[in-house]
Amino acid sequence: MSKVLVFVPHPDDAEFHAGGMIAKFAEEGARVIIVVATDGRCGTLVLDVETLIKVRAEEARRGARALGAEEPIMLGYPDFGLDTLPPGKLREQFIRLIRECKPDVVIAQDAFAPEIHPDHRTVAWAASDAVNFSALPLIHPEHLQEGLQPHYVVEKYLFAEGSQDLNKVVDVTRTMEKKIAAMAEHKTQIEFLVEDVLRQAQLAGINIADVIGDMAGDPASLMAWALQTQAAEIGSRIGVKYGEAFRYIRFHPFIEALLPSQQ
């Protein structure tokens, strides 16, 4: 059984960016573990923080279950605060998790693509460092003393919005409904994200109902439409109904050049 490790900053990020592929891996029998760095406390337009933290943790569990993934690992750092952690702290945790889980695949945000959110940037760099250096025994040698062996991650799927470096489109037509169902479990985020878009549309003088019709009054339908629209555009690049795009990396370019092209 193959293993897939997913590193994301917030409870809904795995579903939004890679839910179709995660569900595809799970359907194919892989063991999928989602690691969520923060508690998601800032993803709201209201102020009941303690309730939101508990709700978002439950949403993360339900979303992972909808994709066929295992119970997510919640690191519990305060939302919008990852860039204030001690240098190297998150990187060490990610390296440790790679050595503990020994994944064949890691999914994470691309550290080399533009990103406005500091939590996303922090997780992206920590994940990049972890997958590139978890195989070296003298990186955190204390792990060896705990019985954790170095581990090389063969396949890396890196997601990003608007990146020109995406080189692999994955057909997620079969699992698109699972992606939508998993995202629907994040009710607080659907309401928050849709309300934010509607407020911006109002400030811009746009009547969003004129653009998307009755869906403007139903956040879940609007989110599903947005996910399908994005996935359809990506899928059209390879002639499938729905797709997700990634920057895909395996081995050093020298090794890749030696491999048969069909691999």
pLDDT per residue over 146-170, tens digit each? 999 999 999 999 999 877 789 999 9
User: Residue 262 pLDDT more than 80?
Assistant: no
Segments making up each domain of the chain, as ranges = 3-253
Residue % of the chain over a pLDDT of 90: 81
Q: Residue 121: pLDDT above 80?
A: yes
- pLDDT tops 90 at residue 38: yes
Mean pLDDT of 40-58: 91
Residue 214 has pLDDT above 80, yes or no: no
Q: What is the model's pLDDT at position 198?
A: 80
User: Stretch 32-40: mean pLDDT, rounded?
Assistant: 98
Question: What pLDDT band is residue 142 in, cutting at 50, 70 and 90?
Answer: very high
Count Cβ atoms below 10 Å from residue 242 Cβ, excluding itself. 23
Q: What's the maximum distance between 2 C-alpha atoms anywhere in the chain?
A: 63
pLDDT given for residue 136 in this prediction: 98
Mean pLDDT across the stretch 116-134? 98
- The pTM for the full model equals 0.94
Q: What are phi and psi of 109, to 5 degrees?
A: -75, 145
So what's the pLDDT on residue 216?
65
Judge: domain 3-253, CATH 3.30.420.40.
Answer: no
- Is the pLDDT reported for residue 182 higher than 80? yes
Digit-coded pLDDT (tens) for 188-212: 999 888 888 888 888 999 887 777 7
- The pLDDT assigned to 19 comes to 98
